[in-house]
């Protein structure tokens, strides 16, 4: 019985993960997705940010945070001013079932004044992963949207000063 339960659970976890080929969605409109900030506010992206440029730092895995942190430090050090949202976007049943536990874990590691800028995406995480691809999932997806929600900058190869400078030119 124990073997059947472990096998079923393993199958469930593995069957919920689909790999999508990486693509550059520049010029395309970002898909409409829903999520909640760590402080509990519900968002529809990009609709709730229409009329302004917004930078999305998208992570597909917990370890994506390393790359996200490098981008946020680079943005801060260069005094780049743009509305920036960290967007953890997972797929599968496991994260959906344990989203409260995952969000609480993030809250424990993030100062509460930053909670409004972290919007977790569970139900629509796969939509985001299809839009950008999810190969090399530890690399952050850096997506700059114009005021209408169209992608005007995209980078998914890890932080680099050159990419940061290209992003700053678009901002």
Give residue for tokens 């424990």.
108
Contact 87, 124 (CB under 8 A): no
Residue 121: both structure tokens together:
């995406």
CA dihedral over 37, 42, 44, 47, signed as positive or negative: negative
Q: Which tens digits make up the pLDDT trace of 94-115?
A: 444 444 444 444 545 566 786 7
> Which pTM was predicted?
0.84
What Rg, from alpha-carbon coordinates, does the chain have?
16
First and final CA of the chain: distance in angstroms?
57
Contact 83, 49 (CB under 8 A): yes
The CATH T-level fold of domain 2-170 is: Glutaredoxin (3.40.30)
Q: What is the pLDDT of residue 55?
A: 98
């Amino acid at each position: 019985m124990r073997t059947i339960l472990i096998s079923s659970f393993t199958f469930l976890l593995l069957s919920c993960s689909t790999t999508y080929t990486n693509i550059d969605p520049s010029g395309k409109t970002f898909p409409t997705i829903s999520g909640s900030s760590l402080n509990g506010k519900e968002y529809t992206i990009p609709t709730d940010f229409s009329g302004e440029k917004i930078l999305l730092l998208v992570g597909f895995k917990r370890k994506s945070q390393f790359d996200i942190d490098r981008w946020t430090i680079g943005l801060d050090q260069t005094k780049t001013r743009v509305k920036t949202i960290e967007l953890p976007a997972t797929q599968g049943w496991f994260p959906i079932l344990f989203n409260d536990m995952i969000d609480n874990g993030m809250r424990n590691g993030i100062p509460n004044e930053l909670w409004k800028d972290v919007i977790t995406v569970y139900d629509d995480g796969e939509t985001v992963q299809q839009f950008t691809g999810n190969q090399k999932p530890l690399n952050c997806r850096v997506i700059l949207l114009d005021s209408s929600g169209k992608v005007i900058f995209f980078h998914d190869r890890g932080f680099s000063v050159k990419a940061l400078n290209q992003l700053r030119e678009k901002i």
